[in-house]
Chain A
Amino acid sequence: MNLYEHTIIARQDTSPSEIKQLTDKYSKIVEKNEGEIVKTENWGLINLSYLIKKNKKGSYIHFKIKGKGNVIDELEKNEAIDKKLLRYLTVRVKKFDLETNYFAKKEGEEKYDKKESYKN
Chain B
Amino acid sequence: MPKRQSGNKKNKQSNFAKLSIFQPNKYKFKKSCPLSIKGAPPVDYKNIRLLKKYMSENGKILPSRITNVSQKKQRELSLSIKRARNLALL
Interface residues in chain A, defined as those with a beta carbon under 8 Å from any beta carbon in chain B: 7, 9, 46, 48-50, 52, 58, 60, 87, 89, 91, 97, 102-103, 113, 120
Contact = CB atoms under 8 A, between A and B. Distances in A.
A49 B90 contact: yes
Given A102-B48, A103-B46, A120 B88 contact: no
Nearest to B89: A49
B46 A87 contact: no
A89 B48 contact: no
Interface residues of B, number: 17
A33 B45 CA distance: 27
Main secondary structure on chain B at its contact with chain A?
loop
Which 9 pairs from chain A and chain B are nearest by CB? Answer: A48-B88, A102-B46, A49-B88, A120-B4, A102-B47, A89-B87, A49-B90, A89-B86, A50-B88
Main secondary structure on chain A at its contact with chain B?
strand
Contacts of B45: 91
Nearest to B85: A49
B23 interface: no
B82 to A, nearest CB: 11
